[in-house]
Amino acid sequence: MEQGKTWQDTTQDSFAYTLGNKNWRKIPAVPGDRGELAATALAIGPKIYIFGGYAVAEDSSEMTIPWSYIYDTGKNTYHKMPEIPVAVDDSVSFFIGGRYIYLISGWHNAGNVNLSQVYDTVEKKWFQATPYPGSAVFGHAGAAIGNRFVICDGVEKIVPLHGRHKYQAVRACYKGTVDPEKPQIIKWQRIESHPGKPLYRMASGGYRGQGDWIIFTGGSDNPYNYDGIGYDKKPSRPSDFVMGYSLATDKWQMIGHLDRPSMDHRGLLVSEDKFFIIGGMIEGQKVTNSVIQFCLNDKKGKMSGCPIQ
């Protein structure tokens, strides 16, 4: 979504960047008749897998999209994948076992689902895994290392017996372990929540240092729709926290702060010890085209920020 933040400002424009180059380059637009919001994407080798999202109509109604595509970076082309069995947006995706892509929970048209939907990149088909054990949520964050992953927070829909429904932030984190021989089985474990308030639409990525870490950063403690205004009608503000969960010690560590608070994310791009947040919203609910880059050091099991060379 571009700066106007209306249904007319969704875009299909797509761009690529190669580390070490000075400039971005435009690539073919993602297929479809309109831009989509809250999709999730994963890079696996030379291919980018793009899942779901939602479209906004002129009357501001929203429809979750079941379509998924693979972008081949070598051929500069897209091709369509089998549709997601239950379409989701604002979901969490990660890659496990060199073969399986997991989509955990997310929003489907009128409410959240607790499904763990798995795409087999070899057989090119979907199957269901052990459902998410917490409240079904959207706008949560998470990432994987090896066959383990961590998912935190998100927003649940509360439907009272009388009156209008409302949206409520969820303060909860879960660690999942996938059975290597039975990828449909996830062993879930509730873990300690990260420091501070629950955060919506954080960026998250897995990092292999001296230990295995799941890094979380940015987001907002006031859940909102695509315009950046909270469901409570108050303007949402971005967070600058950088924190990590150690899979080696099962403990959280506050690592530091971003140079600029940022929200409205999903993935955190990781290249060795460098991390990249692309776009999103900054203070004042302003859509940005900036790239935030930061670096981490992992020494003796502790994380710290480091300058970018």
- Best CA proximity match to 243, nearest among 207, 293, 289: 207
Q: What is the mean pLDDT of the chain?
A: 93
For residue 308, the model assigns a pLDDT of 56
* Confidence band of 34 (pLDDT split at 50, 70, 90): confident
pLDDT: is 260 or 163 the higher one?
260
Cβ–Cβ under 8 Å, residues 115 and 86: yes
DSSP string, 89-125: BS-EEEEETTTEEEEEEEEETTEEEEEEEEEETTTTE
Q: Assess whether pLDDT exceeds 50 at residue 303.
A: yes
In a domain, 2, yes or no: no
pLDDT, tens digit, for every residue of 251-261? Answer: 999 999 999 99
pLDDT, tens digit, for every residue of 219-241? Answer: 999 999 999 999 999 999 999 99
Residue 17 to residue 34: CA distance in whole angstroms? 23
For residue 300, the model assigns a pLDDT of 60
- Per the structure, the complete domain to which residue 135 belongs is given by 7-306
pLDDT, tens digit, for every residue of 261-289? Answer: 999 998 999 988 899 999 999 999 999 99
In a domain, 1, yes or no: no
In a domain, 257, yes or no: yes
- Domains contained in the chain, number: 1
For residue 270, the model assigns a pLDDT of 92
Q: Assess whether pLDDT exceeds 50 at residue 309.
A: no
pLDDT, tens digit, for every residue of 61-74? Answer: 899 999 999 999 99
Sequence-distant (6+) residues with CB within 8 A of 55 are: 10, 34, 35, 36, 37, 62, 63, 65
In a domain, 227, yes or no: yes
Rounded to an integer, the average pLDDT of 71-84 is 96
- Best CA proximity match to 93, nearest among 49, 129, 47: 49
Beta-carbon-side half-sphere exposure of residue 192 (alpha carbons within 13 Å): 12
CATH code for position 50: 2.120.10.80
Rounded to an integer, the average pLDDT of 130-138 is 98
Rounded to an integer, the average pLDDT of 174-186 is 97
Cβ–Cβ under 8 Å, residues 305 and 293: no
Q: Which two tokens stand for residue 173?
A: 């984190």
